[in-house]
Every structure is written in C-alpha cells, then in structure tokens.
Structure 1
Amino acid sequence: MQYNSIISFMQIMRIFLCLMLLGIVSISVLQAQKQQRPNIILILTDDLGWSCFSSRMDDRLPDSKSDYYETPNIDRLAAQSLRFTRGYAPDPICTPSRRSIQFGQTSIRQGDESFPAAYAPAESRYKAIPQVLKSIDSRYKAAHFGKWDLRAKISPEQLGYDESDGDTGNKNGDISSDREEKWSQFFITDNPKQIDSITYRSIRFMQAQVKTKTPFYLQVSHYATHVNFETRKESYERFSRKPVGNKHNNPAWAGMINDLDEAIGELLKSVDALGIANNTYIFLMADNGAVEFIPPVRNRLDPPSSFTTQMRNYPLRGGKWTLYEGGIRVPFMVRGPGISGGAQTDIPVAGWDLLPTITELAGQTVQQAPADRDGVSLAALLRNGGKGSLHRTADDFYFHRYNNGYPHSAIISGDYKLIKFWKTKKIELYNLHNDIGELTDIASREPGKVKELEAKLLRYINQVNPTLAKTY
C-alpha cells in the first residue's frame, strides 16, 4: 500500500514537472516571439508611375520600364522583392490615397469632405497602422517623415506616431510654390524635395530603435516626385547629356527620380549596416500614378490616339487625376524575411491592404476583420512567392475620383474594369487581360457584363457611402 502510494506520488510529480516544463517552454516561445517582432518600413513615393523605374514592373512587358530614367537602387530592391504587377493606389490623387493607406479602407467608404469630422481622433472608432501595431505589442515605436497631407487637421501623433514632421503638405517639400510656372520651372538644390533630410531623420530613427532593441514602424513619405521639379546640379547635367526616350524626356524630372533613388539606396544600406535586414519588411509603392504629360493636358480623358506622343505611364492609359490604369496602377513591391526575391504575381492588391498585411506580419493572430475594413492581409502571398488566393469579403476593387468637373467611379472585377462617369452618364468597359492600355471600349459588345458590374459598383457605394450617389 505504501509502495503504491510512492509510485502514485512519483507519477504525479512527473506529470507536474512535465506541465511545468511545458509552461516554461511556452512562456519562452511567447517571449521569443515578442522579442522578435519585425520592423516595418513603408516607402511611399509621390506621383510616380508604374513604368518609371529602369527595371520592369512586369517581366513580360518590355515597356513596363522607363526608356530614360535610371533607378539602380530601386531596381535592386525590386530584384529582392515580390512584385505585384497589379498593385493599385487607393485613389488617383494624393490625399484620399494617403488616408486610405492609414486606415485600410477605400476612399469611397471614407468620403472626401466628411473625412475630417468622421476620423477626428476624439470622435473616431477607426484605428491607423501605428495604433493597431501598438495594440499587438506596446513596445512598437512609429515614425512618419515627409508628406502627411491628410488635409483634416489630424497630426501623425494623434494617430499613434511617436515622431513625425507634423501635418505637412506639398508646400513643405518645395523650394518655391509658383503655381503658374511649376510645370516649366526646375530648381537646382543640394536637398531636392527634402529627400536627404527625410532620409537622415529616417536613419536616425532606425538607429535609436535598434540601440534599444525596439521594434518599429517607419513610414518614409517622400515629396518626390511631385512638382515642383527639384534636382541636384550633377543629376540635371547628367540627364541633359543623355538621349531622351519616347515617353520619358524631361532631364529635371529624371534627375529628381535619380536623386530619390540614391536616397532610397542609403536607407537600404542602413538597414543592412544595422543588422536588421533579416527581421525587416520593406514596402514600396506610390500614392498614385504620374501625370500623363509634362505639362499635363486638359483633355486627359481622351484616348491615347488623340495625342501625338506617348503618355508618360505607357503602356498604361492616362495618369494622375483619372481612374484609367495610369492613374492608379503603381509600383508595388515587398521585401523581407521569407519572401522570394525576384518573383512577381498578377493577383491584384491595393494600398488599403497594407494595414492588415503589416499587422499580421507583426504577429496579430488571424481574426474576423472589422466589417468596415476593405483591405485583407497579403502575408500568405508574400510567404508563398505570390501564389495562392486572397479571401476578400468581395473580390472586386472599388474606386472613386472626387472631382466637380469629371467625377467618375470604377470597379475592377477579375480581368474586367468598368468606369462610370457621373455627369456625362457614359460607361466604359475594358478587359485588362488583353487590353492593359484600355484602348478598346467593349461596353456595347458586352451589355450583360456592364449591367452586372454597374450594379455591383452602385451596391457598394450605397452600402458604404449612400450620400455619394446622390451628389451628382
């Protein structure tokens, strides 16, 4: 009897010790995960077209790169990244696109004039990228340097950023703001578009976090390549000597993007020098496409055949201010641990996917997304070479151009894209699979598809922003 009691006691102790060991291991794993939270860097460029780099955005399309500009550092980043050939900016202009990225929502859902009141921090239930990251791990530090431009009297600090340049806009990046001459003037300077000072502050922020072993989110929002044209003397002189291309031919703009590329190269070097490359995800995208011509034209909605020269976003149609592909399809790439460099995927994604992607990479467990969030996490694609599928509530993409002159909305559904012009009542339909340049309007040929997509578009608008459809 005593013997059995001893055995029983020893068994209980063995079980207890096993459970205790398991608990210690579990705690150790959780602590290790917490200590290894990844760093996230978002490089957001301004008014930069899909085909403005010296490397292809789509390996199959020779014209998906510049015939004049040079971007060796971005090209190197692209070779180390997963590239999204169908990466979309949330909007064809700066402000709504930047708002969308912060909150993971379409600009249709957020509204335009209603945004400042609805998203005021004291009133809003919506959380921006830094706020969500800090809810995952309070150790996260966040910084935003460069162009903010939410135009809502909301500062970066009110959305969870610990450091920033403040509530900045285009004028903060310019030497001069002469609106009349901005498309013909250019400025020679040692710090074009604040490129170097933004990069310096970004590197200093990274150094401080690495020193204290603190995970960070860094958004580097460059003013370049928005007008005005600013560049270094040596850059301008170099491209003035270089033969121009058919679609790209402005030496001041070429100098500016080259200066931007060098600064991005310095940032990437610092990531390597700090020893954090293996635990840092780097996203690069643009807030919208490049302007269609320099200077831009008033008849920008006209088909490419109306013009005697190639548009700057060729082979895409249009540019900034329109929902043609040139206005919203932008460079979109991600580098980081577990991501196969040099791969590309045709699965469409958008800027509103950044928030859920970043938060999952930071360790947020997969959970039911808020009903008012349009973005989904791209983490599974990033880890699988761009292969697989995304589980969206709706597989369609919705866009709207807030503009009193030519307001228009668009829906992208698979290979099809429908554009609805509210004032003229015109509807255009394109098959992007075989018509990336949107040259052939097939609306009259496929009335059933027009009816289907217009109904989807109106249903979404009426669901998330019912006042929008009544505006026009």
Structure 2
Amino acid sequence: MAGFGTAGTFTKQIRSMNPKSTRLLLLLALGLVVGSSHRPAHLPQATPPNIIFILTDDQGWTSLSSPMDTGVPESASDYYETPNIDRLARAGMRFTRGYAPAAICSPTRRSIQFGQTPIRQGDEEFPARYRPGGQAPRSIPQVLKAIDPRYRAAHLGKWDFRAELVPEQVGYDLSDGDTRNGNGNLVQVKGDKWDEHYLTEDPKKINTLTERAIAFMQKQTSAQVPFYLQLSHYATHVNMETKQATLDHFSKKKAGKRHSNPAWAGMLFDLDTGIGEILDEVEKLGIADHTYIFLMADNGAVEFLPPVKNRLDHPSKFKEPMRNYPLRGGKWVLYEGGIRVPFMVMGPGIKAGSQCEVPVIGWDLLPTFAELAGGTPMPEKGRDGGSFVALLKNAGQGPVNRPVQDFYFHRYNAGYPHSAIISGNDKLVHFWKTGKTELYDLENDKGELVDLSTRNPAKAKALDARLLNYIKQHNPGLLTAYTKKSQPKEKPED
C-alpha cells in the first residue's frame, strides 16, 4: 500500500498510534480493500465492448473474392471483387457453415433480432405476436441495455419486419424507421429490374448509410459510452445500382463462368467500399481493441440473373452453374445456396485468419452479443440461439450451448412450401405438397446432389420425425396449413 512501506512497518505504525486513530486507520484501510474488489451490484464492472453488425442483402456464399472455405477454392467468386470484406476475414474468423435463419429477408431479420427460429415466430402471425407492449422477448438492444444501461444502439438501413413494429419500439435510440427495399432505391424501376441497371453516386444509399454510421460511432466514442450499431444494407438486393466508374471497371473485366454481370458486380464492389470505410473508422477512432465487427447476409444470392421459376430442380437440369455453386439453389429455397451465407467476425481475442467449421446461425447472434457484453451465455426461455463466444476465443473450437442443437427452417410460401432440419452433417428437406423428403450428407455432398433418403430410410424417417415434432411444439398450425381446405394465400416473391 503506497505511503506505508512494508507490511511490518505498517503494523508498527499502527501500534504506535492512540486507539482512536488506530481504529480510524483500520476502517480506512478496510474500505480501500473492499472498494477495490467489490462494486455495488447496480454499477457496471467495466465498459463493455462496442458491437458492429453489418447485414448485407442477397449476398451468396460464393460472392466474395476470397473463399468462404479455404478448403473449397470454388467458394470464391470468379469475377466479383470484395477487398474490404476479404480484409475483415483475414483479420478475424470466417465460418464455413454460417447460416441465415431463412431463405428470404423478413423472417431472417426478425429471427436475428429476437434470437428465435422463424418457425417459432410464425409469419402471418408475427405482427400480432410481436406488437409493442405484447409478450415478445427482449430484442438485441434491450438485452444489451439490461446488461449495461450505458449502451446506445442504432439501426440504420433496411428493417423490413412486415409488421407495425419500428426499431425504437424494441430499444434502438436511432433508426431509419420501418424501411423496406424501396427505401434503398434511389432510382424508380421502369423496366425489368433483373435486366436494367442504374447509375448513381450513392448506389443503394451505401454512402449515406456509411456516413450516418460513422457519425454515430464518433458520437458514442466521444461520449465514452459503448454502442451497438446494426448497419443493414439494401445492397445487393436488386434493382441494380452502381457508380459509373465501378461499372466501367467490371465491363472491361473478363466474365467468369458463374458470375458475369458487371452491374451487380459493381453494386457489390460499392458495398464493399462502404464496409471498408467502417473498418477504417474503427482504426481512426482507436477503438479496435474493444470493438467486435460481425458480417453476414440475410439469405443466399439469387440462383441466376434473372432468376428462374424451376429453382427447386436438380442442378443437372440447368445448362450453366448456379451463382452459388458449388452450393445448390439460392434465395427463396432451403437448399444450401439459399441459407448458407458469408459469415465472419473480427475483434479482440479472435485469431486473425482463422476458420471455423462448427455450424452457427443468425439466431445465435443475440446470445453471442450478450456474452461479449458481460451477460450470461445461457439463453433465456423461449430463445433458440446459443452463444458462440467460445468459438471466437478458441480459434474455432468449443461448444455452442443451444437449447436444441439442430437447425430448423421453414419456407413460408404457398406455391412450394418446404421445411428443413440440419443435424450435424445430415440435412433433410420436407416438401409439404407432395410429402416427399430428401436426405443429404453435407460433409461429402455440399452441393446436395445425391438424395440418400431411399438408401437410408431409417435416418430420413428419424430426422423427419424430429422436424415435425419441433413444428408441432412451436407452430402446430403449419402441420395443417397446406391442406386443400386451408391454403394460405401465395404472396409475390421479393
């Protein structure tokens, strides 16, 4: 203890004092010791980290210029360029089996925000179940603020919950409101959005969103408070918008076998540039040592440009490889191309350039953020996700303690409704109109080319039973929703 020398000297000094002074000094010393090791329960122990979550739109697993799986060269694009996302991957950890909760955007976004499967949340039922003041579980910002009330949260960009629920009603301090795809288009589509492209210096509002995100980061850093920033980009959802210079660059580049559209490539490159500005600002602000940056897509890329109607067909039926090859399918379907997406994290304690083979999914993000912020890694009742902080801290090795380890998916669509279960390396897809099931071994057949259901009927039956049991427990209406007497109205695909 400074000013008192050794312990023996300190004891002699106490003995030489009168009793009243001795008692006062002992009480003071005890107060210093207790004060240094304990704080009132209502005060945060230390400033928790900042968390930045970048959610891209319709970006496939193979839509990066670096591979999402270093053991699978085809998992990198043969045409697109994403130097800044590649930089994020090199600085942190990439997940070879990172999954979106759904094959389309709205159920994915809802799932991430509350840490639940889209099956549990429902589709048509969601607006009523999750209305303000209802019984909905806490959202990401509400959980973080319960851990440390100093957190400030912003949601910028696309919200698209298809419900009367805006970000401020679930704990965000700043947002763009109830935004959807149209809010990100600076140009009104006059022709076919799959064939046309539009030139602008702020494509899909990438520049505007990036500037506002940086301003939010600067403000919270200046105030010395932790922040959660969710930057939900409108890109790369069509319509296709890009800068003239970017379009010129890709128009001159040799086309790839899977990827060749210069306007879409330009839009992706412009998005990547905005992401690079976020990474740069984290460095400029000096907050890299206590900031985590997550990136994932809301679903896979569209299987072809323009898309096809027979998207559930076997890949052998098409003359050209799908854009998500070696994965099968794309947006709108529950094959791997529709749900396996770019998924990576960088931040303190994460080994640079590491790769994790353990499956993770969007509904794992909320409990992961909670643990990073100092909360419990154990999920609350009614959640489906589990924290994967152990994977981040141990070079991709460790447990993810979810209530249920299997992943459950459902495609809410009256035209081709189907559900899926992923259990380890086994995947079963159940088609509701025909009752047909397909079984795949994802370890040896990433492209889902060989249906094993007739070779291993026992496994197929067991997985189908688990899938139906989960649906029966959490959304039993789905079991009867696709009968002839009860056909849900088919909505136009987005």
TM-score range, shorter chain: over 0.9
Give the TM-score normalised by the residue count of structure 2.
0.91
Q: How far 1:24 sits from its partner (Å)?
A: 1.2
Aligned residue for 1:375?
A: 385
User: Does residue 125 of the first structure (1) align with residue 136 of the second (2)?
Assistant: yes
What is the alpha-carbon distance in structure 1 between the residues aligned to residue 429 and residue 21 of structure 2? 75
What is the alpha-carbon distance in structure 1 between the residues aligned to residue 105 and residue 424 of structure 2? 26
Aligned residue for 2:235?
A: 224
Name the CA shift for 1:31/1:181 in 2 (closer, same or farther; >3 Å): same
SS in 1 for 2:440: strand
Q: How far 1:177 sits from its partner (Å)?
A: 4.4
Q: How far 1:28 sits from its partner (Å)?
A: 6.6
Matches within 5 A, 1:435-446: 435-446=445-456
SS in 2 for 1:381: helix
Q: How far 1:121 sits from its partner (Å)?
A: 1.6
Aligned residue for 2:214?
A: 203
2:270 to 225, 238, 259: 259
Matches within 5 A, 1:80-119: 80-119=91-130
SS in 2 for 1:217: strand
Deviates most, 241-250 or 35-44: 35-44
Contact 2:89–2:353 (8 Å) recurs in 1: yes
Aligned residue for 2:192?
A: 181
SS in 1 for 2:234: coil
2:297 to 286, 306, 312: 286
1:410 to 420, 436, 449: 420
Q: How far 1:365 sits from its partner (Å)?
A: 3.1
Larger Rg: 2
Q: How far 1:178 sits from its partner (Å)?
A: 3.1
Amino acid paired to 2:101: P
CA RMSD of aligned residues (A): 2.1
What is the alpha-carbon distance in structure 1 between the residues aligned to residue 135 and residue 189 of structure 2? 37
CA offset digits 1:21-67 (Å, max 9, x no partner) = 33211247989964421000000000000010000100100001100
Aligned residue for 1:464?
A: 474
CA offset digits 1:185-239 (Å, max 9, x no partner) = 0001000000000000000000000111011000000000000000000000100
Contact 2:302–2:331 (8 Å) recurs in 1: yes
What is the alpha-carbon distance in structure 2 between the residues aligned to residue 414 and residue 41 of structure 1? 29
CA offset digits 1:349-383 (Å, max 9, x no partner) = 1000000000110111344x222100001111111
What is the alpha-carbon distance in structure 2 between the residues aligned to residue 9 and residue 380 of structure 1? 53
Give the TM-score normalised by the residue count of structure 1.
0.95
Q: How far 1:341 sits from its partner (Å)?
A: 1.2
What is the alpha-carbon distance in structure 1 between the residues aligned to residue 291 and residue 200 of structure 2? 32
2:407 to 378, 397, 400: 397
Could you list the runs of 5+ residues in structure 1 that have no partner in the other structure?
none
Q: How far 1:330 sits from its partner (Å)?
A: 0.3
Amino acid paired to 1:415: N
Amino acid paired to 2:349: G
Amino acid paired to 1:416: D
What is the alpha-carbon distance in structure 2 between the residues aligned to residue 14 and residue 392 of structure 1? 52
Q: How far 1:426 sits from its partner (Å)?
A: 1.1
Aligned residue for 1:345?
A: 356
User: Does residue 243 of the first structure (1) align with residue 254 of the second (2)?
Assistant: yes
Amino acid paired to 2:87: R
What is the alpha-carbon distance in structure 2 between the residues aligned to residue 365 and residue 374 of structure 1? 15
Deviates most, 6-15 or 268-277: 6-15
What is the alpha-carbon distance in structure 2 between the residues aligned to residue 244 and residue 366 of structure 1? 46
Contact 1:53–1:66 (8 Å) recurs in 2: yes
What is the alpha-carbon distance in structure 2 between the residues aligned to residue 19 and residue 380 of structure 1? 37
1:215 to 204, 221, 226: 226
What is the alpha-carbon distance in structure 1 between the residues aligned to residue 35 and residue 214 of structure 2? 37
Amino acid paired to 2:383: R
CA offset digits 1:410-453 (Å, max 9, x no partner) = 00001100000000111100000000000000100000101110
Contact 1:81–1:335 (8 Å) recurs in 2: yes
Amino acid paired to 1:370: E
Aligned residue for 1:272?
A: 283
In the alignment of these two chains, the number of paired residues is: 467
Amino acid paired to 2:219: A
Q: How far 1:394 sits from its partner (Å)?
A: 1.7
SS in 2 for 1:144: strand
Amino acid paired to 2:428: L
SS in 1 for 2:258: coil
Contact 2:186–2:205 (8 Å) recurs in 1: no
Aligned residue for 2:68?
A: 57
What is the alpha-carbon distance in structure 2 between the residues aligned to residue 210 and residue 394 of structure 1? 38
- Share of identical aligned residues, percent? 60
Could you list the runs of 5+ residues in structure 2 that have no partner in the other structure?
1-14, 483-494
Contact 1:34–1:137 (8 Å) recurs in 2: no
Amino acid paired to 2:380: P
User: Does residue 453 of the first structure (1) align with residue 463 of the second (2)?
Assistant: yes
CA offset digits 1:124-156 (Å, max 9, x no partner) = 331110011111111110001110000101111
Name the CA shift for 1:366/1:260 in 2 (closer, same or farther; >3 Å): closer
Contact 2:247–2:263 (8 Å) recurs in 1: yes
Deviates most, 17-26 or 85-94: 17-26
Name the CA shift for 1:18/1:180 in 2 (closer, same or farther; >3 Å): same
Q: How far 1:393 sits from its partner (Å)?
A: 2.1
Matches within 5 A, 1:287-326: 287-326=298-337
